[in-house]
Amino acid sequence: MNPERYRKRVVFWKGDRMRFVGHLDLLRVLQRAMNRAGIELVFSNGFNPHPQMSFAKPLSLGQEGMREIMELELASPMTDQELIERINAVLPPGILLLDAADMPEGTKSAMSMVDLAEYEIHLPDLDIDYPEALKGFLSLPEIPIRKLAKFHGRKQEITVDIRPRIRELKALNANTFYLLAVSTGEENLKPDKMMQVFWNYIGHPEQTANEQIVRTGLYQCREDGTLADMMQLLEYQAE
């Protein structure tokens, strides 16, 4: 019989100054928080044992995440509430746990389940009719970006059309866009890269990176076409 495992899926907010803390640094911030909170994680086996902690999708530098997902394996059982409270009590400003749930044996990692990411893009106050500009942008048959990628075994610059990766893009109001973007392991749309093309397209390249990008959720597209977030997936799984 397998020994019992205590895996948790946790929803957290990362914003404020934490937006400038990269993925690997975030990992260490959280590991130290666990140490301070006295919460023991299970360590991986192998030459360089590391605590079992993983994230559904790294957030790009500068972006805020409203409902980010991480998964932990605890050394001993703990209620969701206790886990959240103990860690929140010791976290530095800019990060907060919001929700947690057990991951039953056999649950696939969120990393492998996410296929869509949802964003709000807040635009700077300029004399630009953003909704109108967006119409033109969306009518482009192709939106090519240049990126470094491994191609035929070596790193080189390639051109990728990101238009098919925009599942939905619309203006929520005069200064905000809504974006639903393909976000799987193989195909991933980076909203900051898309915005760079947008700024160039409307003739304002100097505004590049001047937008505020907020990731509002990570989803899986269900067979019936509805979106389920990572916590809902656990509920469906339980049913």
State which of positions 130-189 bind another protein (CB under 8 A). Answer: none
Stretch that binds another protein, among 70-78, 90-98, 112-120, 165-173 (CB under 8 A): 90-98
Identify residue 224 by its one-letter amino acid code: D
CB-wise, 28 or 170, nearer to another protein? 28
- Binding-site member from 23, 25, 44, 108 for another protein (CB under 8 A): 25
Smallest separation (angstroms) from another protein to the CB of 36 = 4
Give the list of residues 6+ apart from residue 20 with CB closer than 8 angstroms, or none. Answer: 61, 62
Q: Does 209 bind another protein (CB under 8 A)?
A: yes
21: phi then psi, degrees, rounded to nearest 5: -100, 120
Q: Does 85 bind another protein (CB under 8 A)?
A: no
Residue labelled with tokens 């928080």: 33
> Residue 65: helix, strand or coil by DSSP?
strand
Q: Does 32 bind another protein (CB under 8 A)?
A: yes
CB-wise, 212 or 216, nearer to another protein? 212
- Binding-site member from 9, 78, 93, 183 for another protein (CB under 8 A): 93
Q: Does 34 bind another protein (CB under 8 A)?
A: yes
Q: Which two tokens stand for residue 91?
A: 């976290």
Number of residues that bind another protein (CB under 8 A): 27
Give the list of residues 6+ apart from residue 128 with CB closer than 8 angstroms, or none. Answer: 202, 204
Query: What value does the CA radius of gyration of the chain take, rounded to a whole number of Å?
Result: 20
Helices 191-201, 130-138: inter-axial angle, 10-degree rounding: 100
Q: How many residues does the chain have?
A: 239
CB-wise, 25 or 168, nearer to another protein? 25
CB-wise, 37 or 221, nearer to another protein? 37
DSSP tag of 132: H
Rounded to whole angstroms, what are the CA distances from 63 to 15, 86, 151, 209? 7, 26, 28, 10
Identify residue 102 by its one-letter amino acid code: D
- Binding-site member from 10, 11, 33, 101 for another protein (CB under 8 A): 33
CB-wise, 1 or 24, nearer to another protein? 24
Residue labelled with tokens 């939905």: 168
Stretch that binds another protein, among 14-22, 102-110, 141-149, 215-223 (CB under 8 A): 14-22
Q: Which residues bind another protein (CB under 8 A)?
A: 16-22, 24-25, 28-29, 31-36, 61-62, 90, 92-94, 208-210, 212
